[in-house]
Structure 1
């Protein structure tokens, strides 16, 4: 009977074909090159059909053989937890909240690499030919707790899960609440090809210095904040969560990048492909989406009063139900904590934008825009709760677009001033309105803030320096400004009033995109730091007091009609991509940052603008009523100061002709990273990124009118 048992079916309705000992099984763990050295010495456990456990270790080539077990299939597991001191594994295993059950197998799999650059499995593993059975496995197939591991990747040679389930249903093997392990069949040699545990993460510089890398990367992350988190189920999950919908925050970080898949969509309506620069990292160093495992973590179990924790509640702030409609996401790895705040979307956002009344900034000095401040206060507790759990000296990188940029500024300064905390903060904002007054800006002078403005984007021009009011006249205009920029402009302009107060002002170092159209029709974008406000603001704001506290409506309207330049995927992201390509090529060629033609076009525009300001000064003198002569000096002084700033701007422009960039201007702290070259190789593998950009041509616009890039038009500025 013993001799013939191996020929019989392995299962009857109730028991194995034979309960006698004397059978064997051999197996080895290999990578996709057929080598098992990466797994040498790993401890394993095997349970036979009677439930008996056999423990052992793989040899140096990842091979082991078990002899003398009871007839029938056996279950192989590699569930021993990591016990070493290597980072980040030891820290992740013992952290106070959400400690991870990292196994020795996981650490080994993270130290292997893909043979293909895209993470696809290769056919024809050299270890396949001597195998009786060949399986493509993942770490999650061989360990018990899998919530912290990436989702299963498609494969051709799957382990036979039905055999594992059959053994469990018949009561064979070890008692277990979940199906864990791979079934090996007796008297056969099995080869298990273990998929590497590698992930992709967007590269971010942690330097204070502005760099083109962060300009582009954080533009993408700011746009991603407009997406949902994408968790299924979104609330009150029971046993597991998934992130199947793209593009969403959860899908990008929790599925695509954790599964070593590149993603380029950060807007559901996006057609132009914009790939972040990704670096390959061991899985444990990815941007983390925390696990959901009610068996391991008590806080994941349902709690009264909706206190259950799950990834959507930990990473995604959505205050729609509580009045401010503020939205943001937060995630981290061992070097960076990333926070991205959403811009204007809903009616609640619009009303908050319109509420320009100033209130005390309680966490520091000065006064802030009340609507933005209330939104910041709504999310402050959420952010601090996350930082209390997962901040361990990382650089906190905060970004936001539009309204999100204003809230991000208040958040960054509030965190910087948090007592008994040492937060090192880096802030990038895109098209952000003014968020606070001059006293706040002075008090926050040590906060590193790179403020990006796209040419004639109207939003950075509000609240205007004269605004500190919730007057009914201009609120409807502001509502229309953000929801329908063109027709809303007139109502916005006619409703503005001036109330004496410390004026609103911008914080941070401005980086300004100036699109220009070259004689051959090519669209170019120059990023520089002008020293004047006429480029940023509409209609010489300092002179509007002379018109019954009204701005020059025609010029405001001209700016508002170009509000398409406020959108991220239509304007800011293409301009950021163009700047990155321009700066890359400038470093490679050691050429100037602007061409001669570009310089001449912009210089002529600045010269024309200066003359317009002088003409405006004379015009106001002529139109000023006799009883207002006492104020003439004040207004002349304001316009003359702006003319001086324009002169400074022309000098800065001139310096661009001779400036030579260094690699650090482009890549920041990653300049000398060993991972930069493979990351660039991956990025340039996409045809969109291989385009030459002698003048940093902006990608071709789509059919959508919102995505048309406007030429440089001085008359739309003053």
Structure 2
């Protein structure tokens, strides 16, 4: 062969068949700052064009070189598995199902960081200047199994895949059937800048006590439950899955947060940007969407057909095909398992809402709303199977909105009572109706449940404990509701039916969004615990306008179909955001939760309400026959007047209450990452409200279910 042949371009059709020996290659792995120390000592393997396999270790600066091999490109891999015992890597590598092939390279990359909070690429570094070739690479470029790793980020300096394919077509490179590794060219020094394996994780508190952080963050997750999972292909995948639909559950966790992208959309029609508060975590500690790899996991193989496992089947419960139409998603990391249950959407949801017949709660005590109970039973096995595989003592955080809140309550209590499981449950619900009777509520007293109610939301008032009308009176109203469902489906009217049995009772500690008007005319709300049924029933009482035994159906329909204070993205989420901002500002200023003016307005409304209750008590006393010794109506009103007095005292306490950091951020208050997470959150203009107390963000004109004007006088 010609002595100058080695100078010719590689993969050139004139490249001689026989190659000369005596060539070299050098390479270095660095982080985004150009430092190679993070990868010092890593084992590597190189396959040259003659089929020889070379192994070695990077030096302390991440550098290595090979000498005297045959002319031609080589393929570099760093595929050695992590062999240490550090958590969570050891647990992830050895767990019973879906063992992750975590490599030493992955563990090292998870300990590197981005140069900026928004992951802007550093196109030039000190290492860039020393290189003949400079690539920005991912861990997935250098290992064989990558289904559990994030999608590559775009970059003009990515290595070209066609070179690797050509090597494979010529029979060179690693002996695996998949294209793995990076092609390095001889007689050149190549620098590989490894992208950090960091992810964003929504911060949550694991403490029992209520905090503004969880109020806001779990409101977002409860709203996300209305989205699809977004997997493509949705069923029977063959080799890989993707999650391109934004927003969707899979897209958020698998394709946005996993690549360090701050996502904010949790509703397809959402216009205002509500960002969660994210923390920067190693990739292995993110909320996990399990990998799909038929080569590695036999349960993923397509030939299993109906028994095939894939991410949508593992993380997403959608019972549309089997009657209940219950929907929920579940995911986890090393500290939390998160479950979110969807509210009313479809006709099947409507029929379930309407089924208020009480049935025995077989997993505990008392009786539950039959429609909600059937939905709970439909998803119970799905949740238990997931917990059986991935629960290792984490706090189980459950949330749900509307119907989803009712199902979430039954699920939480069922899990709490699961034999020998010792599940530690934390429950937040938003606008949830009553799900069970008084015996159930008493038996579930140990369950930690924070129940959020927006001021005039009618849904939490049903099924009402004092309603015992006959079914035939409600059939015409139910038919009207079912024939013309509104978007979002607030169709709980027929659920007011209860014939016999113990009265329905709410469970959990209620937190109430009380509306206020700020000095500039904008609207916000004060979150507090009123403790009186006059407020808890306000939404329903204003709608019903009882006329004998039959409610005014038209008024009820109008209230339900215009119940904007029940929707998540235009009601609960804005109010939760405003509460978080109010509490943050209160914590910073060391001031009270309400101003003197706000207290006077609210207190005046309570005084008016008390006078109305007293007047009603006098009216009932005058109507009572002389021989009627029953004291029930008067006793009930007296008890409510007493509760109203207690509520006024609670309101007064807000003038003097001083917040602690744990009131706002819960268990995250002492976290060393809190300030950096808040800095990232406040970098978005939507979160830099400068008013003394944050107002509720106004919805866009084209946004469905706009929030109506909040009126302080509406409490009476």
CA distance in 1, matches of 2:623, 2:558: 23
Equivalent-residue separation in structure 2 for 1:484 and 1:306 (angstroms): 34
Q: Are 1:616 and 2:616 counterparts? A: yes
Does structure 2 retain, via aligned residues, the 8 Å contact 1:351–1:479? no
Structure 1 146/16 Cα, relative in aligned 2: closer, same or farther at 3 Å?
Answer: farther
Q: Is the 8 A contact 1:354 1:475 kept in 2?
A: no
SS in 1 for 2:230: coil
Q: CA deviation at 1:428?
A: 0.2
Which stretch shows the higher mean deviation, 375-384 or 473-482?
473-482
Look up the SS of the partner of 1:54 in the other structure: strand
Aligned residue runs from structure 1 range 167-316, under 5 A: 167-304=167-304, 306-316=306-316
CA distance in 1 between counterparts of 2:165 and 2:539 reads 73
Greater mean deviation of Cα atoms: 353-362 or 609-618: 609-618
- Superposed CA deviations along residues 44-103 of structure 1, whole A, max 9, x for unmatched, are 000011111000100000000101111100000001000011111111001010000001
Deviation at 1:485, TM superposition (A): 7.3
Do 1:474 and 1:491's aligned partners in 2 also have CA atoms closer than 8 Å?
Answer: no
Asked if the contact 1:541–1:551 (Cα under 8 Å) also holds between the matched residues in 2, the reply is: no
Q: Residue 621 of structure 1 contacts residue 632 of structure 1 at CA under 8 Å; is this kept in 2? A: no
Equivalent-residue separation in structure 1 for 2:332 and 2:687 (angstroms): 27
Which residue of the partner structure matches residue 640 of structure 1?
A: 638
| Greater shift in the superposed pair: 647-656 or 560-569 | 560-569
Which residue number in structure 2 is paired with residue 430 of structure 1?
430
Q: For residue 344 of structure 2, what is the aligned residue in structure 1?
A: 344
Root mean square deviation, CA, Å: 2.5
Is residue 116–residue 122 contact of structure 1 (8 Å, CA) maintained in 2? Answer: no
Change (3 A) 1:479 1:576: farther
Say which of 615, 636, 659 aligns to 2:657.
659
Question: Which stretch of structure 1 is more off in the superposition, 608-617 or 304-313?
Answer: 608-617
Q: 1:480 and 1:124 mapped to 2: Cα distance? A: 67
- The answer on 1:531 being equivalent to 2:531 is yes
The structural deviation recorded for 1:536 is 1.4
Range moving further from structure 2, 697-706 or 421-430: 697-706
Instruction: Give unmatched runs, 5+ long, in structure 1.
Output: none
Contact 1:485 1:563 in 2 (8 A): no
Q: Is the Cα contact below 8 Å between 2:27 and 2:65 reproduced in 1?
A: yes
Q: CA deviation at 1:552?
A: 7.8
Gap regions ≥5 residues in structure 2: none
Match of 1:708 in 2: 707
CA separation in 2, counterparts of 1:106 and 1:356? 52
Given that residues 466 and 500 in structure 1 are in contact (C-alpha distance below 8 angstroms), is that contact kept between their aligned partners in structure 2? no
Superposed displacement of residue 2, structure 1 = 7.6
Counterpart-to-counterpart distance in 2, 1:636 and 1:303: 70
Q: Indicate conservation of the 8 Å contact 1:292/1:311, yes or no.
A: yes
- Given the superposition, is the C-alpha separation of residues 16 and 639 from structure 1 closer, same or farther in structure 2, using an over 3 Å criterion? farther
TM-score by length of 2: 0.95
List per-residue Cα deviations over 1:533-560 (Å, max 9, x = no partner).
1111148979x99964456879867854
Mapping of 1:662-681 within 5 angstroms? Answer: 662-681=660-679
SS at structure 1 position matched to 2:65: strand
TM-score (norm 1): 0.95
Deviation at 1:21, TM superposition (A): 1.4
Change (3 A) 1:546 1:563: closer
1:280 aligned counterpart, secondary structure: strand
Residue 319 of structure 2: aligned partner: 319
Matched positions, count? 712
Task: Tell me if 1:94 matches 2:102.
Answer: no
Measure the CA separation in 2 of the matches of 1:330 and 1:476. Answer: 38
Distance 1:476 1:235, change over 3 A: farther
Give the direction of change, closer, same or farther, for the CA distance of 1:438–1:47 in structure 2 (3 Å limit): same
- Other-structure match for 1:75: 75
CA positional deviation for 1:620: 4.0
Cα deviation per residue 1:434-476 (whole Å; 9 max; x = unaligned)? 0000100000000000000000000000001135788254255
Residues 157 and 451 (structure 1), Cα distance of their counterparts in 2 relative to 1, 3 Å cut: same
SS in 1 for 2:55: strand
Whether the 8 Å contact between 2:229 and 2:312 is mirrored in structure 1 is: yes
Checking the alignment, whether the CA contact within 8 Å between 2:605 and 2:715 is kept in structure 1 is: no
Give the Cα–Cα distance (whole angstroms) in 1 for the partners of residues 116 and 630 of structure 2: 72
**Which residue of structure 2 lines up, in the alignment, with residue 126 of structure 1?**
126
Structure 1 pair 450–657 and aligned structure 2 pair: CA distance change class (3 A)? same
**Does 2:573 align with 1:600?**
no
- Superposed counterparts of 1:26-41, under 5 Å: 26-41=26-41
The reply on whether 1:440 has 2:440 as its aligned counterpart is yes
Aligned to 1:329: 329
- The offset of 1:139, in angstroms, is 0.4
Return the offset for 1:174: 3.2
Tell me if the contact between 1:434 and 1:463 (Cα under 8 Å) persists in the aligned partners: yes
Pairing 1:454–2:454 present: yes
Q: Partner of 1:154 in structure 2?
A: 154
